[in-house]
A and B are shown apart, each in its own frame.
Chain A
Amino acid sequence: MTDNVLAQELVAQFQTRYPSGATVHGNLRFPIDQFSITVLFGPSGCGKTTILRCLAGLHRPQQGVIRFGSETWLDTNAKVCRSPQERDIGFLFQDYALFPHLTVSQNVGYGLNQLSAVARQQRVGEMLSALKLTGMEARYPHQISGGQQQRAALARVLARRPRLLLLDEPLSAIDNSLRAQLRTELRSVLTEFCIPVVLVTHDPAEARELAHRVVDMSDGQSTMTNADDLG
């Protein structure tokens, strides 16, 4: 597998077992030098989030390899497993995981410690403006709506300019009536930031509308299909 890895591709082939004995197979390959959305699609419990957590370094698979371009993130044979901090990824959790004791502004600037105070403030301002959160700076997460929480979490993740964006059911906590509108907004923001995305969903409409390619996990395996071929 490793012989024909392109320098600008993410290649992941791994498997991990749950304590119950069920095995999840991760099999992904997509370019990382251009914007694209790879959707992991399948019913609840099929292991979509587990694959995302393996990519993030939050879960260590029993066996396999994950390479990001020329970097090895995971190689179980060579006992290599980079921490989430070393992978430079952005992870949007299903419940957004905004820090409840920090304001929206502090949440967005949380991962920007490497920047000077002035640069950090400027970046936070840019992100709040880009995600239509201006005026919400001083509010706490529980003081804003679900849609605003989603945008604040996305702003926090994007503020660091990660090399890969991992989104775990980003619209599942949103009301059905708002979901279609936010789907369009999400796609537009992701396109603007031009970062390759892996997105988990069990919603066929979400998969159809957002995906450039779909990894169907319905049968316990990972079968990758280009969105154009889905019909």
Chain B
Amino acid sequence: MIVQNTLCDQCGTCIAVCPEDALMLNEHALIIDHDKCTECMLCVNICPVAALEKKQ
């Protein structure tokens, strides 16, 4: 997954649905743990502003 920081509002909605605990926020940005991420797409679909996308 990649996050577009210009769109992300750091609201944490993606973190609430992540089944793998692969997402967390620091003070400025969303951090993705690529080792934990299974690319299940739940965060991509739930994001209120479409700030997440699957890495090509």
Q: Do A and B come from one complex?
A: no
Give me the interface of A with B, judged by CB distance under 8 Å: none
Give me the interface of B with A, judged by CB distance under 8 Å: none
